[in-house]
Structure 1
Amino acid sequence: MLKLQIKNETSRLRAVILGVAESNGPIPSVDEAYDPKSVEHILAGTYPTEAAMILEMEALAAVFKKYDVQVFRPTIIKDYNQIFARDIAFVIDDLLIKANILPDRERELEAIAPILSQIDPSKIIQLPDECHIEGGDVMPWNDYVFVGTYSGDDYSNYITARTNMDAVIALQELFPDKTVKSFELRKSNTEAKDNALHLDCCFQPIGKGKAILHRNGFLIEKEYQWLLDFFGQENVFEISKEEMYQMNSNIFSISEDVIISEKNFTRLNTWLREQGFTVEEVPYAEIAKQEGLLRCSTMPLIRDL
Structure 2
Amino acid sequence: MLKLSVKNETSKLRAVILGTVDKNGPTPDAADAYDPKSREHILAGTYPLEKDMQEEINRFLQVLERHEVTVHRPDIIPDLNQIFSRDIGFVIDDILIKANILPDRAAEWQAIQHIVKKIEPSKLIIPPEDVHIEGGDVIVWNDYLFVGTYLGSDYAALNTARTNMQGVHFLKELFPDKKVLAFDLIKSMTDARKNALHLDCCFQPVGTDKAIIFKGGFRNPDEYQYLHDLFGEENLLHITADEMYQMFSNVFSISEKVVVTEERFDRLNQWLSRKGFAVEKIPYHEIGKQEGLLRCSTLPLYRD
TM-score bracket for this pair, using the shorter chain length: over 0.9
Question: In percent, how many aligned pairs have the same letter?
Answer: 62
Letter in 2 for 1:246: Q
- Which residue is equivalent to 2:55? 55
SS at match of 1:293: coil
Letter in 2 for 1:278: A
- Which residue is equivalent to 1:142? 142
- Which residue is equivalent to 1:201? 201
- Which residue is equivalent to 1:283? 283
Distance 1:274 1:174 in 2: 39
Deviation beyond 3 Å, 4+ runs, structure 1:
none
Q: CA RMSD in A?
A: 0.5
TM-score, with length taken from structure 1: 0.99
Letter in 1 for 2:35: D
Letter in 2 for 1:26: P
Alignment of 1:210-229 (within 5 A): 210-229=210-229
Alignment of 1:68-217 (within 5 A): 68-217=68-217
Moved more, 286-295 or 150-159: 150-159
- Which residue is equivalent to 1:12? 12
TM-score, with length taken from structure 2: 1.00
SS at match of 1:86: helix
- Which residue is equivalent to 1:27? 27
Distance 2:152 2:263 in 1: 36
Aligned length, in residue pairs:
304
The answer to whether the 8 Å contact 2:10/2:208 transfers is: no
- Which residue is equivalent to 1:246? 246
SS at match of 1:21: coil
Distance 1:216 1:176 in 2: 30
Distance 2:87 2:31 in 1: 20
Q: Residue 46 in 1 paired to residue 57 in 2? A: no
Report the Cα offset of residue 35 of structure 1.
Answer: 0.2
- Which residue is equivalent to 1:255? 255
Letter in 2 for 1:164: N
Gaps of 5+ in 1: none
Q: Residue 235 in 1 paired to residue 235 in 2? A: yes
SS at match of 2:296: coil
SS at match of 1:290: coil
Listed one character per residue, the Cα deviations across residues 242-301 of structure 1 (whole Å, up to 9, x for unaligned) are 100000000000000000000000000001000000000010000000000000000000
- Which residue is equivalent to 1:264? 264
- Which residue is equivalent to 1:66? 66
Letter in 2 for 1:60: F
Gaps of 5+ in 2: none
SS at match of 1:286: helix
Listed one character per residue, the Cα deviations across residues 175-224 of structure 1 (whole Å, up to 9, x for unaligned) are 00001001000000001100000000000011030000001100000100
SS at match of 2:285: coil
